[in-house]
């Protein structure tokens, strides 16, 4: 059923990208779309490794002895019990964003850290880890691959030649992934995962709600993160309801 659904999505994405495309480019995209529908866990991990490395090349990473890096180390120290091999770094940029990939690559933007306290950043990172643990990032990578293929950015790449993707192709795929949108159901599930993870680690759960309240002031497309994470105020209320209900 999942493969059928993804195949249907691939067809929709291909049709959406058909404007002005010739038959040769559509045929090439079709091969890549089939690849997206058959991506295995190992394929997704490999693409995540490549995409994360490409994003690291394009961004300025905070040095290990910087305030940002030390803050993130403190944040991550309170996020144990995930069972995931996490690799977290800070991108020095004014953008307000954070994301995680299926390989455990976690990237937090300094603009987000400037806005939030360490406890609040921990709640947000817990949310991003939730997307990984719950399988959302695997699906997002498949969708990113589908979208890039439909736009003719990946040529006729098949599963056997994923390792041959160029730097520009990996860059296009990474951008598609970072800008991916999750469903409201997935967002709520990731919020609940973060809340439960904070509980397991004895961390400040109220900070998750206050983080959403702070970010709600940026709603309206003013940050790349919030364009794909809608309804910050409602999400804060959901966490506050869980706190009030003792659950």
Identify the CA nearest to 80 among candidates 178, 229, 199: 199
> What are the backbone angles phi and psi of residue 66, rounded to the nearest 5°?
-80, 160
- Could you tell me which residues are beta bridge partners of residue 202? none
pLDDT, average across residues 206-222: 82
Locate the DSSP E strands across 68-195. Answer: 87-91, 98-100, 105-109
**Burial tier of 227 (Cβ tally within 10 Å: 0-12, 13-18, 19+):** middle
Res. 16: pLDDT tops 60: no
Axis crossing angle, helix 184-200 with helix 232-245, rounded to the nearest 10: 40
Q: What is the pLDDT of residue 27?
A: 36
The sheet with strand 98-100 has its strands ordered as: 87-91, 105-109, 98-100
With a pLDDT cut of 70, the percent of the chain lying above it is: 76
Residues 168-176 have a mean pLDDT of 92
Catalytic residue among 24, 54, 120, 128: 128
At residue 91, the 3 state secondary structure works out as strand
Mean pLDDT of the chain: 82
Give mean pLDDT, residues 198-205.
97
**Residue 128 a catalytic site member:** yes
Q: How confident is the model at residue 158 (pLDDT cuts 50, 70, 90)?
A: low
Mean pLDDT across 187-209: 97
pLDDT computed for residue 142 by the predictor:
87
- Report d(CA 35, CA 7) in Å as an integer: 10
- Tokens representing 130 are 């939730």
């Amino acid at each position: 059923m999942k493969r059928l659904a993804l195949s249907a999505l691939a067809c929709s994405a291909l049709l959406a990208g058909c404007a002005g495309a010739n038959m040769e480019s559509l045929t090439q995209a079709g091969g890549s779309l089939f690849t997206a529908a058959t991506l295995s866990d190992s394929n997704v991990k490999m693409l995540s490794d490549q995409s994360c490395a490409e994003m690291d090349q394009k961004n300025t990473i905070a040095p290990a002895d910087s305030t940002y890096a030390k803050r993130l180390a403190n944040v991550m120290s309170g996020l144990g019990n995930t069972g995931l091999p996490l690799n977290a770094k800070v991108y020095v940029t004014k953008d307000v964003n954070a994301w995680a990939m299926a390989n455990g690559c976690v990237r937090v933007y300094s603009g987000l850290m400037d806005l939030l306290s360490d406890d609040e950043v921990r709640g947000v990172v817990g949310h991003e880890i939730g997307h990984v643990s719950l399988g959302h990032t695997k699906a997002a990578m498949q969708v990113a691959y589908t979208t890039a293929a439909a736009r003719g950015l990946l040529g006729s790449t098949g599963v056997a030649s994923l390792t041959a993707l160029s730097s520009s192709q990996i860059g296009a795929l990474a951008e598609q992934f970072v800008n991916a949108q999750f469903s409201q159901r997935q967002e709520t599930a990731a919020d609940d995962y973060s809340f439960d993870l904070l509980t397991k680690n004895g961390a400040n759960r109220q900070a998750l709600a206050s983080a959403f309240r702070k970010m709600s002031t940026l709603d309206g497309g003013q940050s790349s993160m919030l364009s794909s994470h809608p309804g910050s105020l409602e999400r804060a209320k959901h966490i506050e309801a869980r706190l009030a209900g003792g659950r």
